[in-house]
Structure 1
Amino acid sequence: MSVLTQSWLLPSVLVLLQWSVCEAGMSFTVVEEIQQEKCVNLDMSQRLDDVGLYQDGDVIIGALINIHNLPPTPDLTFTKRTEIKPCTELQERSMRWVQAVVFAVEEINRNPFLLPGIQLGYHIQDSCSRYPYSLRSALSMISGGNHTCSNTRPAKLIIGDSASTQSIILSTTLRPLQIAMISYLASCPCLSNRQKYPNFFRTVPSDAYQARTMAQMVKRFGWTWVGAMVVDNDYGRGAVQVFEEEIKGMEICLAFFHTIYREQLAKDVDRAATTVQASSARVILVFAWYADVEAFLLELVRRNVTDRLFLASEIWSTSGHLLSNPQLYTISKGTLGVALRCAHIPGFDAHLRQLHPSRYPKDALLKALWQNIFTCSLQKNSSTGFQKSLSPCSGTESLKGMNRQFTDTSSLRVTYNVYLAVYAAAHAVHSLLTCTTQNNSDPERKPQCSSLDSITPAQLLQHIEQVNFTTQLGEKFYFQDGGIPPVYDLVNWQRAPDGSLHYVTIGKVEGNQLIINESAIIWPGDSGKVPVSVCTAECPPGTRKAIKKGLPVCCFDCLPCTDGEISNITGAVKCYRCPPEFWSNSFRNECVPRETEFLAFTETMGITLSSVAVSGALMTSTVAVIFLYHRNTPIVKANNSELSFLLLLSLKLCFLCSLVFVGQPSLWSCRLQQAAFGISFVLCISCILVKTIVVLVAFRSARPGSSALIKWFGPGQQRGSVLLCTCVQVIICAMWLSVSPPSPRHNYGIQGSKVILECTVGSVAGFATVLGYIGFLASVCFLLAFFARKLPDNFNEAKFITFSMLIFCAVWIAFVPAYVSSPGRYSVAVEIFAILASSFGLLVCIFVPKCYIILLKPENNTKKFLMGKT
């Protein structure tokens, strides 16, 4: 039944049950007034009070124990009056809790120092783990019973219930009556609210501590994808709620969350098993009663789903019933559980072993237990659920030497909580009655307590809050916000040598301290390794997590780090950029020093460009030698041999200055390369410009009245013009180098894994002025040569100058965008290529035709041919 259904059903049940009890009480009074002429059973629930145990005393302690586990299927036809029928499936474990109440009360009654002169009694009834039964039983106990002929005393407080949902209902119902409850197993964190449940106490820690412990275990073993299967009540839902709060910020997610309800157990178990089978979660959190867990595990076994690890809550982590089921040996091996702390109760084992129906003829529960253990019949009694067709008991049966869950006192957990609850109630009564102990100095003085008339539930409630005593184990006991401080054992289900299953204590929890002996843990499967339970495997170094939209944070993609970024840990959420002088390696998990790169003489490109530059210089020298050897020939004289040799010198410097650009940049090489380039080319263009002017002047001076032009532009003026033009560039370079000179730098932003060692231009304006001045002279030279290209001559030098300037300008116009867009050392190569291309263009266009005539057409090397007269 869902919580929503309970929300509207509970109030009606409470009203009806309270009305029934009240009417029973009034009828009881009426019947007494008519001198009990007739016994009347006002309870229409088939005498459920008989399914319990009663011992009279001066003060009665009520106890609710879930003696039976399976409630009958309710009749929902609504054709007749609804009756609450007895539950079935007697539980040996719960019967041990019943005997813990009996043993504790008998022990207290024998104690001369605790409640001297007062006899405690008990009234134990079955809660059946369902609120109609627990509520009806509780109201029956505090009202003195539902039978008009009963002589039972009302209980002053109630020990129970075992379930959180029932405890919430009982506490809410009994709060106006100020009747105290001391639960031994209800662990819902919600019950710690003292404003809502001021009459509720418990001898079990809150599930908030248990859920926190499980969250710590999940985090410790690296499980980020965990499923949950819980019982559909406040115990299960409250535990999961606390667990989810604890795992916030831990990157741990719930893969699924299923609830099971006992009334529809088969359907819920099938649905939960289907989800577990389909899920990638290998760790399952289980908060449920052991009988529900058994059905769940058996369904998984039927489906052959045996590779899961279960985190068991305290309610089933030490269940002898589950441990003894051979069908669960494989699937439940390796289970990790949080268990209530283990304690020893002196004399309790002997108490259980001496039990026999002949010694307790009125104990119907013991008779039912006897029949279950020895499979024999004592008598037919439908109220206790005895089976038919059983052979009668011989009377010689004995629990001595019997190895059953009922008699197993080696690890008392919940049983010890029940035992503590009885003692807490006894100490509260002792404090309320201001009992005195016997004074050894006065043997005549007997221990005594004040009048029993002073006991009221409200007064007893106040004294329970102040309970503080030392247990027989020497531990201090007190209530902290209605509960006790958290102390747990951590257990692991392991296979014994004989193949059976048992649990081994592998750690403990004290407060917030988690202590685990990991080497003692046996994991599921045969690998012996910690199981992996993740939605997505942790991202390896070199990658980072990328959350998938619409999925939990535990499900993600692993994206490689980008160039220049690394992640050197597993599960990194982001990548970190390497320092400027470092770069990421191929695996993106380490920063390595960048490789320094520059245009070196030893690499292919450097060798090629250097070879071309040297070849150009050698060609220029060869031309110079040819011209020098034939300096007296007409073609050399006609081309102004002085300017020609100066031009050849400047071209040679242009070829050689490109070598300064190759090699590792330094402070002086950076400054020298730009200055040498600028001055060499200006010297070269200046020579060509003067040669062009000389050609124009020479032809103009041949006209009548123009002979004076040659005097104004003689050899001295020619040399002066070249010097003047070159000095302008020298001044520009000097200013550039003095204000903002080029300098070497490490360029980290061009090629990721490499650092480019290059020369900066320093002042962009200075570099632009140098290039602009060269371009200006080249443009003027080109225009003058263009105008002189059609002068009448067999060897028109102006035409060759025009072609050379055309090539020169085209090269350097193309150089600007190529230089700007080329990265790193390629920008240097572009500049060298421009220098060499323009130099070769000048050399070829101006000097190759002359060398052709000198070497291959010597017959044309005459003045008459050059003047065009042949």
Structure 2
Amino acid sequence: MTLVNNQEQSEPGANCSKPQTVQAIIGHSGSTPTMSFAKIVGNFHIPVISHFATCACLSNRKEYPSFFRTIPNDFYQSRALAQLVRHFGWTWVGALSNKNDYGIDGITTFIKSATEEGVCIEYIEAFESTSQYTEILRIVNIIRSSTSKVIMAFMSHREIKLLVDELYKQNVTGLQWIGSDAWITDDSLADIYGHTLLTGSIGFAVRNAQIPGLGSFLQKVNPSQFPNSIFVKDFWEHVFDCSFTTSKLTKRCNGSENLSDVQNSFTDLTDLRFSNNIYKAVYAVAHAINNLLLCEENKSSSPNACLKLAEIKPWQLLNSLQSVNFTTPGGESVFFDSNGDSPARYELINLQSVDRGKIDVETIGYYDASLPKDQRFSMNNVKVVWREGGDQVPVSVCSTSCPSGTRKAMQKGRPVCCYDCILCPPGEISNKTGTIFESLAFCQSSIMISN
């Protein structure tokens, strides 16, 4: 509410160059918090541009009329994950999510899409990082007793770390993890006890990028530039093991410390997937403002047609954002559809090694939702590391293919992926191998077949 109200009182007669309210809001990273405030500020026509809130529910223009995002919505990710599962022949999988809008919405769409692809779900469970320990144990026991070897985990890094840590302690192994974008490239995964369990995980993430000038800018960051920033102060004290306040335990920070001598995740610019989304959000607003200020052609006919920066109203910026279309220095096109969504393009990620302090991420394929369905998913020639470092594609089916001379018989009360193979009656034969994707594993008269 502070953002949508003018809280700064100008001096009488002062020439204030700032607008009365914010013209746009960049953030939040989470779907649930974004849903809370985007609905409110939408009533004031203030644009909200998120870099990481992926819940498909946010594409509802009636509920969130001013929402935009520079990350694809989970409708596309969930469908891409379902096609990924089908591609590797996994017809029997477990489904896990966290209990929030991101997890529930994402896993629901995945299950629907997976079912359409002929995939069966053995179990569906949801939990939070704040869930009771008994709830975590219950889910671990479900995984231990299950027969599926592939798990789709639509959750954040907090939940996957908690779960895998417990699986590691209880020696539950041999699982192939499929991850959503909220954890599949998270650096903090390298710090958990069960690091080997996540080696070989695969999942989709937004494409990596380079941001020109960011490296030199970060090396020059200094607390004196941001005297009111609590983050910079805490960050500085942590990196240089010093304190801006008097302390007997640590040395005093003097502000002359140099970040160019530091090697940590802050200065590591090899993985800027989500930083690039923020970069695109900032430049989308800049382009929208610039388009409103470019009015040279109107000066002769209407001198009052040109806006000043402080005069731009949020609703004007909202309309301008809808028509923004530009290309980043890296060649990526940035625009929004009628629902405020960005194009759905992903890289298929493989965690090839997850060790303490380091995570090795390799791109092994691509997904582009703008292409025809049979062309959206593609693999490149990079070698894939499978579960726990293996070199063989795991098998996860409820029932194996029926051999020739047998037919499928559905198991009562179980999904269609689970069946028995029974011998054909005398005088009948089956010369087809039947899987869940084939309906020809049935017996026919041997005379009919010979004819």
Same-fold call, TM > 0.5?
yes
**Which residue of structure 1 aligns with residue 285 of structure 2?**
425
Match of 1:205 among 72, 77, 85: 72
**Which residue of structure 2 aligns with residue 568 of structure 1?**
432
Match of 1:458 among 294, 303, 315: 315
Change (3 A) 1:140 1:498: closer
Q: Which runs of 5+ in 1 are unaligned?
A: 1-138, 381-386, 438-447, 583-590, 594-870
CA distance in 2, matches of 1:581, 1:266: 61
Equivalences for residues 674-689 of structure 1 within 5 A: none
Q: Which runs of 5+ in 2 are unaligned?
A: 298-304
Q: Secondary structure at the match of 2:216?
A: helix
**Which residue of structure 2 aligns with residue 648 of structure 1?**
none
Q: Secondary structure at the match of 1:568?
A: coil
Change (3 A) 1:498 1:156: closer
CA distance in 2, matches of 1:466, 1:524: 44
Change (3 A) 1:561 1:373: farther
The answer to whether the aligner puts 1:348 opposite 2:214 as a matched pair is yes
Q: CA deviation at 1:334?
A: 0.3
**Which residue of structure 2 aligns with residue 404 of structure 1?**
264
Change (3 A) 1:413 1:148: same
* 2:165/2:192 contact within 8 Å kept: no
* 1:207/1:239 contact within 8 Å kept: yes
**Which residue of structure 2 aligns with residue 184 of structure 1?**
51
TM-score of the pair, normalised by structure 1? 0.46
CA distance in 2, matches of 1:552, 1:532: 18
The answer to whether the aligner puts 1:485 opposite 2:343 as a matched pair is yes
Q: CA deviation at 1:321?
A: 1.5
**Which residue of structure 2 aligns with residue 57 of structure 1?**
none
**Which residue of structure 1 aligns with residue 301 of structure 2?**
none
**Which residue of structure 1 aligns with residue 204 of structure 2?**
338
**Which residue of structure 2 aligns with residue 33 of structure 1?**
none
**Which residue of structure 1 aligns with residue 383 of structure 2?**
520
Higher strand share: 2
Residues 723-778 of structure 1: CA deviation (Å, up to 9, x unaligned): xxxxxxxxxxxxxxxxxxxxxxxxxxxxxxxxxxxxxxxxxxxxxxxxxxxxxxxx
Change (3 A) 1:312 1:498: closer
**Which residue of structure 2 aligns with residue 193 of structure 1?**
60
Match of 1:371 among 234, 237, 256: 237
Q: CA deviation at 1:371?
A: 2.3
Q: Secondary structure at the match of 1:285?
A: strand
Change (3 A) 1:235 1:147: farther
Q: Amino acid of the residue matched to residue 355 of structure 1? A: V
* 1:284/1:311 contact within 8 Å kept: yes
**Which residue of structure 2 aligns with residue 556 of structure 1?**
419
CA distance in 1, matches of 2:357, 2:289: 49
CA distance in 1, matches of 2:44, 2:357: 54
**Which residue of structure 1 aligns with residue 302 of structure 2?**
none
Q: CA deviation at 1:400?
A: 1.5
* 1:329/1:501 contact within 8 Å kept: no
* 1:508/1:515 contact within 8 Å kept: yes
Q: Amino acid of the residue matched to residue 244 of structure 1? A: I
**Which residue of structure 2 aligns with residue 141 of structure 1?**
3
Residues 782-835 of structure 1: CA deviation (Å, up to 9, x unaligned): xxxxxxxxxxxxxxxxxxxxxxxxxxxxxxxxxxxxxxxxxxxxxxxxxxxxxx
State, as a whole percentage, how many aligned pairs show the same letter: 34
* 1:265/1:292 contact within 8 Å kept: no
* 1:306/1:330 contact within 8 Å kept: no
Q: Which structure is larger by alpha-carbon Rg, 1 or 2? A: 1
Residues 285-319 of structure 1: CA deviation (Å, up to 9, x unaligned): 11222122211211111111231111111111111
TM-score of the pair, normalised by structure 2? 0.86
Which piece of structure 1 moves more, 566-575 or 546-555?
566-575
Total equivalences in the alignment: 428
Match of 1:246 among 110, 113, 117: 113
* 1:286/1:313 contact within 8 Å kept: yes
CA distance in 2, matches of 1:565, 1:435: 79
Residues 37-95 of structure 1: CA deviation (Å, up to 9, x unaligned): xxxxxxxxxxxxxxxxxxxxxxxxxxxxxxxxxxxxxxxxxxxxxxxxxxxxxxxxxxx
**Which residue of structure 2 aligns with residue 441 of structure 1?**
none
* 2:199/2:354 contact within 8 Å kept: no
CA distance in 2, matches of 1:560, 1:506: 42
Q: CA deviation at 1:506?
A: 0.7
Q: Amino acid of the residue matched to residue 466 of structure 1? A: S
CA distance in 1, matches of 2:133, 2:213: 41
* 2:177/2:387 contact within 8 Å kept: no
**Which residue of structure 2 aligns with residue 217 of structure 1?**
84
Residues 477-519 of structure 1: CA deviation (Å, up to 9, x unaligned): 2111311111111111113899954111111112241111366
* 1:378/1:393 contact within 8 Å kept: yes
* 1:247/1:253 contact within 8 Å kept: yes
* 1:541/1:567 contact within 8 Å kept: yes
**Which residue of structure 1 aligns with residue 401 of structure 2?**
538
The answer to whether the aligner puts 1:471 opposite 2:324 as a matched pair is no
CA distance in 2, matches of 1:277, 1:141: 49
